[in-house]
């Protein structure tokens, strides 16, 4: 993770003085797909390099419940967000809400956003095909009275898919 360390050091000098970062990195991931594989390894490697990283399961105390406002706060307090796109990412309303918040922070605080595609094709995210398309069609039927929510998710997916990224595994 030499890249992360180098970028962390170089980006700190360009950090706005008015903003205080609690975390260097926030990891957005679909637990069922990546929690005990890629996300855990990424988290461990970042910590070994001294990079303060937010991974939801790791910051909770036993018995503590994770809430979306708690997650949004962590996103807003992170200098970098890593979005770990995986096969079932778009099936999770929670992941999609996190993604919208990350993309908003990218605009409002110049947060750095690094997408990673784990065993998915970037074009499926961008064009919302495959499992991403199926999930969004399901969300549309579930949220037919709140199509703006689904449109925010679609826009955030497209915007994130247009960023430079890393691809791991066969997509």
Is there a catalytic annotation at residue 98?
Answer: yes
Cβ proximity of 25 and 53 under 8 Å:
yes
Residues 6 or more apart whose CB falls under 8 angstroms from that of 112 comprise 7, 11, 79, 80, 81, 106
- Choose which CATH entry (3.30.9.10, 3.40.50.10140, 3.40.718.10, 3.50.50.60) describes domain 21-168: 3.40.50.10140
For the entire predicted model, the pTM comes to: 0.84
Three-state helix/strand/coil letters over 48-113:
HCCCCEECHHHHCCCCCCCCHHHHHHHHHCEEEEEEEECCCHHHCHHHHHHHHHHHHHHHHHCCEE
Annotated catalytic residue, options 65, 93, 98, 144: 98
Tell me: the pLDDT tens digits for 107-165? 999 999 999 999 999 999 999 999 999 999 999 999 999 999 999 999 999 999 999 99
Confidence of residue 56 (pLDDT cuts 50, 70, 90): confident
């Amino acid at each position: 993770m030499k890249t992360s360390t180098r970028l962390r050091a170089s980006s700190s000098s360009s950090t706005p003085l008015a903003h205080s970062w609690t975390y260097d990195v926030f990891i957005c991931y679909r637990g069922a797909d990546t929690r005990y594989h890629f996300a855990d390894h990424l988290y461990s490697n970042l910590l070994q390099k001294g990079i303060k990283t937010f991974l939801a399961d790791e910051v909770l105390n036993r018995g503590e419940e994770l809430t979306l406002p708690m997650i949004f706060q962590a996103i807003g307090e992170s200098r970098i967000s890593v979005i770990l796109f995986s096969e079932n990412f778009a099936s999770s309303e929670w992941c999609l809400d996190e993604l919208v918040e990350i993309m908003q922070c990218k605009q409002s605080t110049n947060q750095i956003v690094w997408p990673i595609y784990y065993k998915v094709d970037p074009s499926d995210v961008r064009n919302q095909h495959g499992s991403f398309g199926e999930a969004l069609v399901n969300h549309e039927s579930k949220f037919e009275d709140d199509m703006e929510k689904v449109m925010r998710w679609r826009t955030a997916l497209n915007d994130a898919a247009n960023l430079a990224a890393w691809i791991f595994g066969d997509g």
